[in-house]
Amino acid sequence: MGHIIQPHHAWRRHEVEELGILVDAEDYYRELHRAALCAKKCILLTGWQFDSDVQLLRGADADRAEAPTALLELLNHLCEERPELSVRMLAWDFNVVFAPEREWMQEIVFHWSTHERMKFRFDSHHVELASQHQKFVVIDDDVVFTGGLDICDHRWDNSQHCFSNPLRTSRGEPHQPFHDLQLFARSRPLARTLQSLFAKRWEISGGDPLDGVLAGEAPRSSYVPRSLKPLAAREVVLGRTDPYGVPECQGPALEIKEVVLAAIAGAEQHVYAETQYLSSRTVTEALIARMRDASKPKLELVFILNISGETLKEQAALGLNQAQNLARLRKAAAETGHDLGLFFTLPYCAGEEERPERGTYIHSKLMIVDDRFLTIGSANLTDRSLGVDTELNVSVEAKSPSDPLVRTLRDLRLALLSEHLGGLPVTEAESMLAQIRRAQGDTGDGCRLRVHPSPTEGERAALSLIDPDKLPFDPDRVEELDVGLLTALTRDWRKLWSATRDESSAPVP
């Protein structure tokens, strides 16, 4: 068994005491609340988006809570209760096109009537019209959360993903079912590295040095997670996408792209991926090259995707790229005999009166290869995420076929697939796709996991008029980022969106 992760794929390697995956925001937000209550020294939070009033605990969890359940109230309460605790929050200084989706006057909200040791900043140290997309939390000196989940509106859901859930609201309004993953790690070396990364980004955003906040060493956290799907790994590898190479600032850091491509090339049995987008030309070409390599065994490839973008601008910016990629992958699989499954998933509906307009929104960014390799983090399978935006991933790899990590990665993969199938059991005794197709039945609509319809007739028509490879929305290198053209198209993205619409974009049956 050859190794996928090579030295040049690793920004940092760290030993960990404990590692696991939290599935969906109900579990992550609950565990984050519990971990914060154990904080003694500092809480550092960085992300693509935060909302001050997002409820971390809901329903029975909120009824039992002995501390505030909303994000800002909780952090402020902890600062007031603990004289030695400091909180720092660093959020992407977002592009104006996202303004309608964001909390208004956020910097004022996070500073108004909050404790002097609770401080908030916007981070704009990224390529123009790119994004700072890293998402992690460090509590004291040994507790780390990182992955795809932001602490904001429209993210909360549990693993049932019901069509109707009175707890799944943001500012009183219901939002669609939502699926994502977050990694938990207990490790002083890992926490220290992410503290240093946070401190550097804080300083280059204009904040004061955090030497005093990070000085000293907090005792081992008393926090014990309850909702983990454990991973039997004792070492993790950190990878970045960052054109500026923060914190060293020594040029582009592309470790995520390099390890993803190595994992695809090294796959021998199967690739299981959950991704918000599959718009990357680079990843698609790597998958096709692996399928066309006749010297290697046939693969089973399962991708869980969104049926469409969450917003109109997502569909305009990335939808045509993804439609083109899915068509190319299907063609290559048919020609080479690899077993490819491209799926979206529907929420649970209690009766005929509940008819979802869209599938459960897939926001996770995870890839498992042969149950021996996993990468999870903030990076989507887009060229932007692999070359232009600022991202952070954690990867692990088994050292041998008998490594206990293999068993826990297999258990995680089967559990995730079972969730998307609505709780139907999935076993290792049979291939994933055989079990999916049996659950779907002859018509293909016998379960919640459905074949992805893209490219639709409307997308095919648009692709005959537009070459998405020539659009500037998903560049893989800073040199390809035409800021002037991208700015113009961003102002006028509705015209591009209209070219992709057809009857196949109607509500899902």
Omega before residue 174 within 30° of 0, cis: no
Cα(70)–Cα(67) distance, integer angstroms: 9
- Lowest mean pLDDT, pick from 42-51, 308-317, 466-475: 308-317
**Are 279 and 322 contacting, i.e. CB atoms less than 8 angstroms apart?**
yes
Q: What structural domains and CATH numbers belong to the chain? A: 17-230 (3.30.870.10), 238-505 (3.30.870.10)
**Is the model's pLDDT at 493 over the cut of 50?**
no
State both tokens at 76.
């402020």
Q: Give residues with Cβ within 8 angstroms of 334, minimum separation 6.
A: none
Cα(146)–Cα(154) distance, integer angstroms: 18
Per-residue pLDDT tens over the stretch 131-188: 899 999 999 999 999 999 999 999 999 999 999 999 999 988 999 999 999 999 999 9
DSSP 88-108: EEEEE---GGGGGGS-TTHHH
Question: Angle at the Cα of 94 (from 98 to 204), degrees rounded to 5?
Answer: 180
Output the pLDDT for position 507.
Answer: 39
SS3 state of residue 218? coil
Say which DSSP state 479 is in.
G
Say which DSSP state 163 is in.
S
Output the pLDDT for position 280.
Answer: 94
- Lowest mean pLDDT, pick from 1-15, 33-47, 457-471: 457-471
Output the pLDDT for position 502.
Answer: 44
Output the pLDDT for position 496.
Answer: 47
Output the pLDDT for position 397.
Answer: 98
Output the pLDDT for position 96.
Answer: 46
Per-residue pLDDT tens over the stretch 432-483: 999 999 999 987 888 999 999 988 888 888 778 777 776 666 666 665 555 4
State both tokens at 454.
């893209």
Task: Return mean pLDDT, the chain.
Answer: 89
Higher pLDDT, 170 or 413: 413
Output the pLDDT for position 475.
Answer: 65
